[in-house]
Chain A
Amino acid sequence: EPEVTQTPSHQVTQMGQEVILRCVPISNHLYFYWYRQILGQKVEFLVSFYNNEISEKSEIFDDQFSVERPDGSNFTLKIRSTKLEDSAMYFCASRPDGPGNTIYFGEGSWLTVV
């Protein structure tokens, strides 16, 4: 069964450093998402991406964050100048076009900022 894959599974970075989290969505999907889950809290929407541009973003997704789809298969989340509070599990997700279609999640990238 096709799946969303994410790398790295775990990354430790120093405060102030830049981090890039990578995702390979399911190949025929058209919508891509990033979500965040701080330890012990709920899963929060960060951003959605469609037709090579951001279609929606949350208040969390400020200028520190950016996304891109550089080569038609990878979907990346860049976090600039990381802060301690950026420590979280970051989930990539994708879905096909059409209402009600399932959003498929990757297994997540656990980011620890020290």
Chain B
Amino acid sequence: AQSVTQLGSHVSVSEGALVLLRCNYSSSVPPYLFWYVQYPNQGLQLLLKYTSAATLVKGINGFEAEFKKSETSFHLTKPSAHMSDAAEYFCAVSLFGSSNTGKLIFGQGTTLQVKP
């Protein structure tokens, strides 16, 4: 069965600093991987996704993630944090195929705090 582990429930960075949010997955077949962001009192918004094309994926708001099969990782990065990046970030894995509904399995989430 698929699973996702996000290392660090809380990450705090200074404005302008590098953001690194870690995600490791477990899947018996090549997965599709997603990062979603949840701002306070809002729904989940897709940041970016990996669907077996380029291993380095660029998303919205300057975020990117690299799929590393050897490390079963899909870490999210942003070179320079902005105050507006403060939110909850969720990594998710999904399988697609005749017996799979494409449901998302989420990690526990990482709260990103950005300090001025």
Contact = CB atoms under 8 A, between A and B. Distances in A.
A108 B101 CA distance: 21
Given A42-B90, A42-B109, A100-B52, A105 B102 contact: no
Contacts of A95: 102
Give the bracket for the number of chain B residues in contact with chain A. Answer: 20 to 34
Interface stretch (A11-19, A44-52, A65-73, A79-87): A44-52
B116 to A, nearest CB: 26
A55 interface: yes
Chain A CB within 10 A, most for which of B44, B46, B90, B107 = B44
Interface of B is mostly: strand
Give the bracket for the number of chain A residues in contact with chain B. Answer: 20 to 34
Contacts of B103: 33, 45, 48, 56
B26 interface: no
Interface in B83-107: 90, 94, 96-97, 101-107
A105 to B, nearest CB: 4
Interface of B: 32, 34, 36, 42-46, 49, 51-52, 90, 94, 96-97, 101-109
A43 B102 contact: no
Interface of A is mostly: strand
Contacts, number: 60
Given A31-B102, A99-B96, A108-B43, A42 B107 contact: yes
A106 B43 contact: yes
A108 B44 CA distance: 9
A57 B55 CA distance: 31
Across the A-B interface, give the 7 residue pairs with the lowest CB-CB distance, nearest first: A100-B51, A99-B96, A107-B43, A105-B44, A48-B101, A43-B106, A105-B43
B102 A42 contact: no
A50 B98 CA distance: 13
A107 B101 CA distance: 22
Contacts of B108: 41-42
Contact of B105 (A4, A45, A93, A99): A45
